[in-house]
Structure 1
């Protein structure tokens, strides 16, 4: 029968070993080589070509994806395939980031003479500063660990974790050095929820035209309620004779009117509407409009143009449907 306590202890030991490996990584990030590698990549006018075999290749794939999504053009090339034609993707203004814990990957060492002949700089990321790759590369980033979390000392565990974290440190340092913004990030993530949140504008979300709840200030409350019910946003904009926004009337306002026992058929909407209401513009990000609603604790906004004429409306449900929330 399985000893559940022992299983938990083994799991905790792995975490402890890998935490120690990451603590050991500080000294390598604090080195001149790390800063030199960042500067070299910042000066690069081409791409960062990441290479690695086996588990290093899996980690390399993730590092290249992180670099690419944070403003540093990069992609992964399998060293084995590179020897059979894929090396043709390299150009003279690229940089190679080669990953191997041992620093003796034969597949990468085979490529190094060709890479050097083209004058392409290489950054080696290895666990052995004395390795062949470390010595032949222009720069070396050390990812040495004291021990693998695998009790056999065979399966890459601590070493792959250290490699991944070193790649993240490199990517984020470059991101900050470039002044990479949320908007820049969204441009490379347009398909997901993050892209929707960062790229959608109010104009993409708002109800407009016939979908905009809108009434004149001279009508009675009952007629305004028909408009609210018809448009289904829980509110209506109220405008003057020139079509400029005078105020807003919401479901919340209706509850207050009923509590005050005001005659709904005889009272003009202008007498009970909320004046100086919070508005927004069509060209700001939907996420900014969402923050307006959250900060003011309101459920909807009227969208106005430069002349204060209503051109749209939106509420929290629209934000949910659009994936902004």
Structure 2
């Protein structure tokens, strides 16, 4: 179709109809969830092996995504191509595993030829199919019904609504298993250490803080000029005022100095106790770095002091440290 015959109004109509059909297909899945679904979840939970996902064509593409989602949310899983399984890869399946077979028709030849072998091995089989009377469904121990009224394809041919239903059912299975296993955000982060979530949930304050020896600090009876030399040498932009037990009792920043000068205040002989801000914000060295970022944002500050279990100064963080660690 060339640009002269392109009908933008019809294009939008077709697109909206496709989305409506697929949305209805997914919504219908929820009404069909019953004891068969919970039985499938329990089957996976009691297994000490992996979920081996199998599917051909578009169902195979969906299967790869389902396997990846399961694996990243606490359920060990892998995808095995049915055609390759017939030529040796069936040996990847162990007696401890559960097979999840995906086929809308339930009659994909490459998959159905494996069903007797899987049954003979005694490996539990979960079928995800749109036909409850299909070969796949008949061989299965558990059935997940992903039937759809029609495809989003105007010719009702291209797998569209059916693959969307499969994908959504896979997500539902993964989320049910996630909840049943008590899988938490911290667990998710451990399987995604290189991602943004991993950095946020695994990076501790102690991992990226500036250690005590490079943190500007002076005792409570020091003068302002001594603290400013500390801040200048150590480059934090703020200095800690500590008591005799090394606990931070005050803070003074570059911004405080600028405001003091603007007011015409005496700085050469000023005592720090007279110009500091008492009770500075602190964070534990055992806290997540993302908590430090949240504290800075809430309090509208650019640095925070780090304390140990006894409340003693042991480090400091500023926004640049958090950005370098890609926490923010």
TM range (shorter): over 0.9
In 2, the alpha carbon distance for the partners of 1:37 and 1:286 equals 39
SS at match of 2:114: helix
Q: 1:72 maps to which residue?
A: 75
Q: 1:63 maps to which residue?
A: 66
SS at match of 2:149: coil
Q: What TM-score, normalized by structure 2, do the two folds share?
A: 0.94
In 2, the alpha carbon distance for the partners of 1:109 and 1:11 equals 34
In 1, the alpha carbon distance for the partners of 2:80 and 2:271 equals 71
Q: 1:13 aligns with which of 11, 17, 28?
A: 17
Q: 2:313 aligns with which of 304, 310, 313?
A: 310
Q: 2:26 maps to which residue?
A: 22
Q: CA deviation at 1:149?
A: 0.9
Q: 1:4 aligns with which of 3, 8, 12?
A: 8
In 2, the alpha carbon distance for the partners of 1:132 and 1:4 equals 43
Q: 1:100 aligns with which of 99, 103, 108?
A: 103
Q: CA deviation at 1:220?
A: 2.2
Q: 1:262 maps to which residue?
A: 265
Q: CA deviation at 1:209?
A: 4.5
Instruction: Please tell me whether residue 245 in structure 1 is matched to residue 252 in structure 2.
Output: no
Gaps of 5+ in 2: none
Q: 1:188 aligns with which of 180, 187, 191?
A: 191
The farther-off stretch of 181-190 and 224-233 is 224-233
Q: 1:47 maps to which residue?
A: 50
In 1, the alpha carbon distance for the partners of 2:152 and 2:233 equals 64
For 1:1-325, list aligned pairs within 5 A.
1=4, 2-29=6-33, 31-325=34-328
CA displacement, residues 19-70 of structure 1 (integer Å, 9 cap, x when unaligned): 11112111222x2111111111111111101011110000000001101111
In 1, the alpha carbon distance for the partners of 2:44 and 2:236 equals 51
Q: How many residues align?
A: 324
Checking the alignment, whether the CA contact within 8 Å between 1:28 and 1:143 is kept in structure 2 is no
Checking the alignment, whether the CA contact within 8 Å between 2:212 and 2:313 is kept in structure 1 is no
Q: CA deviation at 1:255?
A: 4.1
SS at match of 1:162: helix
SS at match of 1:102: coil
The farther-off stretch of 211-220 and 118-127 is 211-220
The farther-off stretch of 213-222 and 35-44 is 213-222
Q: CA deviation at 1:210?
A: 4.1
In 2, the alpha carbon distance for the partners of 1:284 and 1:300 equals 15
Gaps of 5+ in 1: none
Checking the alignment, whether the CA contact within 8 Å between 1:213 and 1:313 is kept in structure 2 is no
In 1, the alpha carbon distance for the partners of 2:296 and 2:223 equals 28
In 2, the alpha carbon distance for the partners of 1:7 and 1:303 equals 58
In 2, the alpha carbon distance for the partners of 1:226 and 1:79 equals 71
Checking the alignment, whether the CA contact within 8 Å between 1:102 and 1:127 is kept in structure 2 is yes
SS at match of 1:266: coil
Q: CA deviation at 1:270?
A: 2.1
Q: What TM-score, normalized by structure 1, do the two folds share?
A: 0.95
Checking the alignment, whether the CA contact within 8 Å between 1:190 and 1:199 is kept in structure 2 is yes
